[in-house]
Amino acid sequence: MLNLLGIVGTNSDHSTNRRLLQFIQKHFADQANIEIFEIKDLPAFNKPKDRKGPVEVQQLADKIIAADGVIISTPEYNHSVPAILKSTLEWLSYTTQPLIDKPVMITGASYGKLGSSRAQSHLRQILDAPELKARIMPSSEFLVGYSLQAFDENGHLNDNNKIEELEGIFHDFTQFVEITNQLVSKNHSYKKVQRFSWEDN
């Protein structure tokens, strides 16, 4: 069974993205072990000279390395991702770079009708940066719009069509994880030779 890490991409205490990841965790419990990680208490990125992050950042990095794949669920703030998520990714890119070659699935929920489509598009660009270089699942976009009304009192998605859509995307992601990890492990030319840094170029 796959071991996946779900990252709540916000510091909100009442995020529907947290509810979405909790639903995914329960709904697919027979297909994957999914641990949910909170980034809301991580300090703001401050570019330390020794390139070492605080303990909380290293804990996240260790969990990413140990996971077969990562799911990031992001809201949309001002057409982009929340500052806390951007800061977290900056920590990871500047320190141990654990997302390199890691399979990633992006999901998102927002209060408006568009879900988090623009934030997800922006997040794909960020994750494609050379210091992050995640393996982002292509041609997939799971959006939960009007997310305040999307879940019942038990945290279950109300729309059966959305559940069916999510099941298809999650199935694709499990296959993507297996194929990507086989490719990376067997072909060393795809693996990171040395840590990328703009300062060294």
DSSP state, residue 85 = H
Work out the angle at residue 30's Cα, subtended by the Cα atoms of residues 161 and 105, and round it to the nearest 5 degrees: 60
DSSP state, residue 43 = P
Query: Is the pLDDT reported for residue 193 higher than 60?
Result: no
Helix axes 83-94, 117-127, angle to 10 degrees: 10
Q: What is the pLDDT of residues 182-192, one digit of tens each?
A: 999 877 554 45
State mean pLDDT over 153-158.
Answer: 91
Work out the angle at residue 146's Cα, subtended by the Cα atoms of residues 142 and 152, and round it to the nearest 5 degrees: 90
The pLDDT value given to residue 52: 87
| Rounded (10°) CA dihedral 10, 16, 19, 23 | -120
The pLDDT value given to residue 190: 47
Q: What is the pLDDT of residues 114-130, one digit of tens each?
A: 778 899 999 999 999 99
Other residues' Cβ atoms within 10 Å of the Cβ of residue 24:
23
State mean pLDDT over 1-21.
Answer: 95
Residue 117: give its domain's CATH number.
3.40.50.360
Residue 138's H or E segment, with its range, is none
Q: Where are the alpha helices (DSSP H) in the chain?
A: 16-27, 55-66, 83-94, 117-127, 160-186
Query: Is the pLDDT reported for residue 145 higher than 90?
Result: no
Nearest to 3 by CA among 88, 93, 65: 65
Residue 77 contacts residue 105 (beta carbons within 8 Å): no
Other residues' Cβ atoms within 10 Å of the Cβ of residue 128:
12
Q: State which residues form the domain around 164.
A: 2-200
| pLDDT over 90 percentage in the chain | 74
The pLDDT value given to residue 185: 87
Helix axes 55-66, 83-94, angle to 10 degrees: 80
Other residues' Cβ atoms within 10 Å of the Cβ of residue 132:
20
Q: Total domain count for the chain? A: 1
Q: What is the pLDDT of residues 18-63, one digit of tens each?
A: 999 999 999 999 999 999 999 999 999 998 888 888 999 999 999 9
| pLDDT over 70 percentage in the chain | 93
CA gap 133, 127 in Å, rounded = 6
Least confidently predicted of 27-31, 50-54, 86-90, 91-95? 50-54
